[in-house]
Amino acid sequence: MIPVILSGGSGTRLWPLSRSQYPKQFLPLVTDNTMLQETLIRLDGLQGIAAPIVVCNEDHRFMVAEQLREMGVTAQAILLEPVGRNTAPAVALAALAAESPDELLLVLAADHVIVDMPAFHAAIARAAEAATADRLVTFGVVPTGPETGYGYIRRGEAGAWDDIYTVDSFVEKPDLATARGYVSSSDYYWNSGMFVFKASQYLQALERHHPEMLAACKHAYASSRRSPDFVRLDKDAFTACPADSIDYAVMEKTDRAVVVPLDAGWNDVGSWSALWEVTTKDGQGNSLKGDVLSVDTHNSYIQSENKLVAVVGLDDMVVVETDDAVMVSPKSRVQEVKQIVDLLRVAGRSESELHRKVYRPWGYYDSIDLGERHQAKRIVVNPGAKLSLQMHHHRAEHWIVVKGTASVTRGEEVLLLTENQSTYIPIGTTHSLENRGVIPLEMVEVQTGSYLGEDDIVRFEDLYGRTES
């Protein structure tokens, strides 16, 4: 059985912590591990599990590779989507990448929480029995309340296996009254978005019900560029692929769909209120993270990333502070955080996509000050890492080494700078920066010029395959 980890989401409902360039699956929201890493840990103890296939946004490739490396996990493949096309094409690509058409695929999202591991493993074993018999299996979460934020699965008749049912229908997110009716019935489950099936059976179903999607995926995969770490799908071919979910493209149409009930403390952590539900709380029902002081506050989620956050007299509220934003909302309205992200995008503000601290394959930078014609950054370069050989049309840069040793290419010169030494990179000068040492290199960069955007970079050489940008 091959785990297929879908890691392409943007997590806008958990803004300002989750942003499109650093979404929730790469964050340690519930434990010290990120949600992607928890998804991998969840597989420990399952029999016959192969190395995973991860499908992710091309912009997230280095975060995926690094977080797998931290876990000691080597993926069969990391498939890079140049654009998002929903889950049906993503799983088709994984099925095409499987070594054998009869391999079972265990399709999991990278951003779920599951509490009861024995129950989860037992449900997977049951699903594998049906999938081996050429069924397309989904997991229906036994509802614990009338949730309006989830889609539902209505079960049909019991099949050839105990506690495995045919799928009668998939139901969109209901209103509260309808959800209460679903919960009072034993025929409805929350739609988990997790599946088990043979690669060949999924591809055959896609061929039958959505042939143009399969054709586009085959073209994109056959024309992909491959390196030891990644499979880069052909952009033009994949952009032409129709976008659709597995439910709409296959599961609603096939007569081979079955559902396995799952009662394992599942949560998709799709909002701040959902995160509050799965985190540890104090005696007043508060989940407090970071430097937080609370007085007469109850049933609230308060998180501080940098500053002291002090709250008085709050009930059922969410307060989240990051280095460049503060979000405050009643728990009952946290789904509307997406509207804030939409407003930021319309205004062209970077806070919808980036944090102040931006991770790169070589390390990270933190924008500590920004003015009309200047910007100051703290730059950290990992040992052995190197920034691309590049130049800028509109800005000059001053580099000051704070810690470690920097090997600097500046035009035809190669300089070795140590602590308290500096250099100047004029506009239009080709330059690069490398850390050949064994400790992180820390620098302060001061940029000056008429335009300071990150897109003012012309790359000539790059260890990380970014020269095309």
Q: What is the pLDDT of residue 160?
A: 74
> What percent of the chain is predicted at pLDDT more than 70?
99
Using an 8 Å Cβ cutoff, are 361 and 62 in contact?
yes
Residue limits of CATH 3.90.550.10 in the chain: 2-267
Q: What is the pLDDT of residue 159?
A: 73
- Is 149's pLDDT higher than 90? no
Q: What is the pLDDT of residue 163?
A: 87
Q: Mean pLDDT lowest for which of 3-17, 129-143, 193-207, 429-443? A: 3-17
| 113-141: average pLDDT | 96
- Is 468's pLDDT higher than 70? no
Task: Read off the pLDDT of residues 350-398 as tens digits, 9 standing for 90 and up.
Answer: 899 988 888 888 999 999 999 999 999 999 999 999 999 999 999 999 9
- Cα separation, 80 vs 53, in Å, equals 11
Task: Read off the pLDDT of residues 198-249 as tens digits, 9 standing for 90 and up.
Answer: 999 999 999 999 999 999 999 999 999 998 889 999 999 999 999 999 999 9
Confirm or reject CATH 1.10.10.60 for domain 2-267, answering yes or no.
no
Strands 2-7 and 53-57: parallel
CA distance to 210, 363, 430, per residue, from 359 (Å): 38, 6, 23
- Whole-model pTM: value is 0.88
User: How many Cα atoms sit within 13 Å of 193 on the Cβ side?
Assistant: 22
Angle (CA) 355 361 366, round 5°: 35
Strands 287-289 and 301-304: parallel
> What percent of the chain is predicted at pLDDT more than 90?
88
Q: What is the pLDDT of residue 465?
A: 75
**SS3 per residue for 248-279:** HHHHCCCCCEEEEEECCCEECCCCHHHHHHHC
- Is 469's pLDDT higher than 50? no
Amino acid at 9: G
Q: Mean pLDDT lowest for which of 11-15, 107-111, 126-130, 303-307? A: 11-15
Task: Read off the pLDDT of residues 292-309 as tens digits, 9 standing for 90 and up.
Answer: 999 999 999 999 999 999
**Per-chain mean pLDDT for the chain:** 94
| 88-110: average pLDDT | 95
CATH class of segment(s) 357-461: mainly beta
CA distance to 63, 266, 386, 427, per residue, from 423 (Å): 30, 53, 17, 13
Task: Read off the pLDDT of residues 401-455 as tens digits, 9 standing for 90 and up.
Answer: 999 999 999 999 999 999 999 999 999 999 999 999 999 999 999 999 999 988 8
Task: Read off the pLDDT of residues 255-288 as tens digits, 9 standing for 90 and up.
Answer: 999 999 999 999 999 899 999 999 999 999 999 9
Residue limits of CATH 2.60.120.10 in the chain: 357-461
